[in-house]
Structure formats: C-alpha cells, structure tokens
Homo-oligomer: A and B are copies of this chain.
C-alpha cells in the first residue's frame, strides 16, 4: 500500500461542487489501494474576504490575531471536504495544522515549519480514514499560538507532511496542467515540462514562475520529496519535480524554461561618494528594514568621483527601502534616489548551461534581434536573468523561448531518471 499526500489549492475548492469533485478524486485514490493524506487551502477567495473583514475592524491588525482569523479559512474547507468524502462513501477526519502536529516558529504571518509530529495523522490512516489537514497553518512551538506560513504555503505543508510521513508520492493539484517552458499566456507555443530538477524548479520559482512556491521547492529538495504538479481539472500527467542523476538530461535540454517577473522595481542611488564603505552603508540601511534586494549594478562616474548604485527589489517593498535610504542620506552623503517600477525580469533556467558555453551569447543575441534592450544582468550556475523594460517582457520571453528550441516538441523528448526516495 502506497502512502500519498495530495494538496488542493483554493481554486480547486471554490464552491460546494468543486469540493465534491475533489472528494471523488481523493476517494478514488484511496480505493486504488493508497493511504491518502489531503492538504487543503481555503475556499476560493475566503482568505481575501477575511483580510477585508480585518481591515474594516482595524487598519493595522496584530499578526497573532490575523493568524487566528485567517486559519478559519482552511478549517472550513477541511471540514467541508471531510463531509463530501463521507457523502462519497469513504470516511475521513479533518485536522487543523495544530492538531496535525505542524510545529512552527512564532513568526505570525510568515512562520517556518520546525517539526512535524504526525501522531494523529498516522492514527487516522491506520483506522482506514482519509486524513485531511488544513494547509498554510501550524502552532508555535513556544507560545502554542496558531500561526500561518505565509500566502500559498499550503504547498509547503504538503511537502513537509510527505517528508514526515515517509510518503511515496506528494501530488500538488492546481489549476494548470503542470510546469510550462514559459507562461502560455505570453508564449502560445509553451509546452508542459514532464520532469524537472529541484534546482531548476527553484530558479524558476524564484524568478517569477507561480506554479510552486519557492519555500515548498526548497523543502522538497532538502527532504528529497518528489513532487508531482497536476491539474485538478484534468487527468494529464503533469510535471515531476525531483532529483535527477547528472548527465541523464539530453543535449537538447540546454534550457528547461523561461521565467518572467513583473513585480520588481529598480532603485538607483545617485551621487554616492566613491569612498570605501559607502556602498556597504547603502545596503546595510536596506537590510536593516528587512528588505531583500535582488540584482545590483554599480557604475562609477569618471567626472565627479561619485558612483550610481542600482538594485532591484519587490515593488511592494520600495516605499520602505526609500524611507530607510532617506534616513541615512545625509550620513552617507549621496545626492538623490530615483526609482523605476516599469521594469521586468526575464530569466532562462537550465542545468544544461553548466556544461555548455555560449548560452549567454545565444540569449543576448536573441534579445538584440528582438530589439530588447538589457538594463541589468545577473547569473547563477544554472540561470541567466536580465532586467528589461516592462513593455519589452513579452517579446523577450518569446525570443528566448524560440532561441533555445523550446517552441518545438523536441524538448519533450528529454528523458529524466527520477531518483525517487
């Protein structure tokens, strides 16, 4: 008997009919001879509605209480799914994150999973029940208060439970057919990636691909949990995210996919005195307010002994960063701060580039031929990212997708050998 963790997102349980459809799928999985643990998100827009309610009561609600409020969402969907499973002829029991033994830090709204003590889940499975766990939530180790793991973190709950339970499979059901070579809304020729390594998936998720959450992929890689991304609206094969042996990917898979991200902004600090330690002061001022920056470019001016420091960051954090910089402007002695929120980042990701030179040249040539101007560049061992004008992002994504042969079906022929666990 295999042990399976299945996670269903909010769009998969948007209303009573959807809940019933999920119930049928879950019951079918059990009837096929599996032990089934289901991780469930809040129904449809529930979380947003609860946030709106909180805003009506208080402009700045305390994080502990916001967590108490928001965790009601998954509690409701978990209970409703259990009812639908009974109605579909199987038996089930729903648990909150706390009841399921999801132990976290006390960082309300953004807690990290420290440990899983799945005693009650195992009991439920041994009793022959389908066990449903409210995703996105846990209980703080020290305070015993209810916590949430951050938006979309039900994926992480599923992977963490799969690891703790020694599950044979972890299936993440979503509203798309898997991970694609690019966003199909931008690149109609984008194709499903049948299998991808943790490292590539991490880079895609960190650079704008929204199918899986970054922390979930990190957790899966650390615990070596194979993750299947599947559609809850079809029976297509989806994408397997796992660890693959070196060299099993064919030559053609130079690039696995093209990701893009429109949520960043660029800040440029102008007229920074060209002295040792000034650039460090700029970045420590930003780090002190908890803002993560992404790319950095520094340009020295030859005329006036100053430099311009540009960096990108999530646009939502731009006001905090600018406020922090203004506070140290006199001390550092820079001239001004300018920003640009009309930028986009385009990244090509693939383990193949480790062993193949020329990827950068091919990428930049494709961008040039598409008339796209590059503002900033950053690279990792398996990724090249460029910042371009927001308006140029679709053209850049399409050009990269084509240049690396992702438009053609040959990429599909790549054979990965999943290591499993």
Evaluate contact between B80 and A93: CB separation under 8 angstroms. no
Given A72-B72, A80-B57, A144-B99, CB of A65 within 8 Å of CB of B94: yes
The chain B residue sitting closest to A120, CB to CB, is B144
- A296 at interface (Cβ–Cβ under 8 A)? no
Q: Which of A48-56, A278-286, A287-295, A365-373 binds B?
A: A48-56
Interface of A is mostly: helix
Query: Considering the chains assembled together, what is the distance between the CA atoms of A82 and B146 in angstroms?
Result: 14
Query: Considering the chains assembled together, what is the distance between the CA atoms of A82 and B65 in angstroms?
Result: 7
Evaluate contact between B78 and A75: CB separation under 8 angstroms. no
A68-89 vs B: 1/0 string, CB under 8 Å?
Answer: 1101110110111011101100
Taking CB atoms, residues of chain B closer than 8 Å to A402 are: none
- A64 at interface (Cβ–Cβ under 8 A)? yes
- A59 at interface (Cβ–Cβ under 8 A)? yes
Evaluate contact between B83 and A58: CB separation under 8 angstroms. yes
Evaluate contact between A84 and B58: CB separation under 8 angstroms. yes
Given A57-B87, A84-B57, A87-B57, CB of A72 within 8 Å of CB of B62: no
Evaluate contact between A53 and B16: CB separation under 8 angstroms. yes
- A166 at interface (Cβ–Cβ under 8 A)? no
Evaluate contact between A59 and B87: CB separation under 8 angstroms. yes
Evaluate contact between A68 and B53: CB separation under 8 angstroms. no
Evaluate contact between B50 and A76: CB separation under 8 angstroms. yes
Residue from A19, A64, A68 whose CB has the most chain B CB atoms within 10 Å:
A68
Among B16, B66, B79, B80, the residue within 8 A (CB) of A83 is: B66
- A128 at interface (Cβ–Cβ under 8 A)? no
Evaluate contact between A62 and B76: CB separation under 8 angstroms. no
Which chain A residues numbered 208 to 246 have a C-beta less than 8 Å away from chain B? none
Count this chain's copies in the assembly. 2
Evaluate contact between B99 and A83: CB separation under 8 angstroms. no
Which chain A residues numbered 257 to 281 have a C-beta less than 8 Å away from chain B? none
Given A16-B56, A57-B16, A80-B53, CB of A86 within 8 Å of CB of B65: yes
Evaluate contact between B62 and A86: CB separation under 8 angstroms. yes
Taking CB atoms, residues of chain B closer than 8 Å to A345 are: none
Residue from A69, A87, A94 whose CB has the most chain B CB atoms within 10 Å:
A69
Query: Considering the chains assembled together, what is the distance between the CA atoms of A83 and B76 in angstroms?
Result: 21
The chain B residue sitting closest to A71, CB to CB, is B75
Evaluate contact between A54 and B83: CB separation under 8 angstroms. yes
Taking CB atoms, residues of chain B closer than 8 Å to A50 are: 76
Which chain A residues numbered 16 to 56 have a C-beta less than 8 Å away from chain B? 16, 19-20, 50, 53-54, 56
Evaluate contact between A62 and B75: CB separation under 8 angstroms. no
Residue from A62, A65, A86, A120 whose CB has the most chain B CB atoms within 10 Å:
A65
The chain B residue sitting closest to A86, CB to CB, is B62
Query: Considering the chains assembled together, what is the distance between the CA atoms of A62 and B86 in angstroms?
Result: 8
Taking CB atoms, residues of chain B closer than 8 Å to A56 are: 16
Residue from A50, A57, A60, A93 whose CB has the most chain B CB atoms within 10 Å:
A57
Evaluate contact between A68 and B54: CB separation under 8 angstroms. no
Among B69, B73, B94, B144, the residue within 8 A (CB) of A80 is: B69
The chain B residue sitting closest to A91, CB to CB, is B62
Given contacts A72-B75, A72-B79, 16 further A-B contacts (CB under 8 A): A50-B76, A53-B76, A53-B80, A54-B79, A57-B80, A58-B83, A59-B87, A61-B83, A61-B86, A61-B87, A62-B86, A65-B93, A69-B83, A72-B76, A75-B75, A99-B144
Q: Which residues of A are interface residues toward B (Cβ below 8 A)?
A: 16, 19-20, 50, 53-54, 56-62, 64-66, 68-69, 71-73, 75-76, 78-80, 82-84, 86-87, 92-94, 99, 120, 144
The 5 closest A-B pairs by CB, nearest first: A16-B56, A68-B79, A69-B79, A72-B72, A61-B83
Would you mind naming 23 contact pairs between A and B with Cβ atoms under 8 Å apart? A19-B57, A50-B76, A53-B76, A53-B80, A54-B80, A57-B80, A57-B83, A58-B83, A58-B84, A58-B86, A59-B87, A61-B87, A62-B83, A64-B93, A65-B94, A68-B79, A69-B79, A69-B83, A71-B75, A72-B72, A72-B75, A72-B79, A120-B144
